[in-house]
Structure 1
């Protein structure tokens, strides 16, 4: 399997931390030297290992923000 190349361009924040020390983060990541995308996944403390995650374009992130803003969290 080919090695995946990545570069974290900007770190926006940590959503949570697991008991093993992995953090779920929102970052701007360039994968294989391509245009950076917004990326949500778990990382080890050294950012050398990662879980599966999702990547979003700017337009997708804007749409996600609209959807999340419309959720009534008090109905749960």
Structure 2
């Protein structure tokens, strides 16, 4: 493993990547969305940005049981 030189731009780059993931949330996996939310919750520039990331994280976490139930049911919808 090669050590990468430390760049002072890395925090801004990670924030930009996290914002890009959330801007196109429909095309990213839940684990990646959770990671992006975590970055913005901790390092977002504004309180609004941090709060929006926290709300999205709650939504993503809330749908986990539904997805698990659908997998266990083989994707069938219960009536």
TM value normalised by structure 2: 0.30
- Bigger helix share: 2
Point out the structure with max Rg over C-alpha.
Answer: 2
TM value normalised by structure 1: 0.30
- Bigger strand share: 1
